[in-house]
Structure 1
Amino acid sequence: MSEPPFRPREKLLEKQKYFQSIHKHTYLKGPYDKITSVAIPVALFASSLYLIFKNA
């Protein structure tokens, strides 16, 4: 007895073709990935530098 898949196979193949056709880094392929992969780490880095040099 097997479980039904989470998504239909056609949808999965469609998404695979879409992501394989994009020529970006794999962690920047989604619409909001630039926010989570670039903006948040840069903001954390900037705020940590500010706090380091404020106390120094």
Structure 2
Amino acid sequence: MNIRTRRYFAIFITCAATLALYGTAAWRVEQLRQLPREYASCNFERCIPHNATLNALR
């Protein structure tokens, strides 16, 4: 492998790794977005719906 081939290979691997990380993050965000709103505030099996916290402020 000459220098040019190694450079192109390194650029390709860097781009592939970046796209893999971005794709994984986008997939995780999409999975979380599809959850019902009640699960957004769950922590250690104790769920607090969003409207309950807003009602306390009124």
* TM above 0.5: no
For the pair shown, the structure with the greater C-alpha radius of gyration is: 2
More helix by share: 2
Q: Normalising by the residue count of structure 1, what TM-score does the alignment of the two structures yield? A: 0.43
Comparing both chains, which one has the higher relative contact order based on Cα–Cα distances under 8 Å and sequence gaps of 6 or more? 2
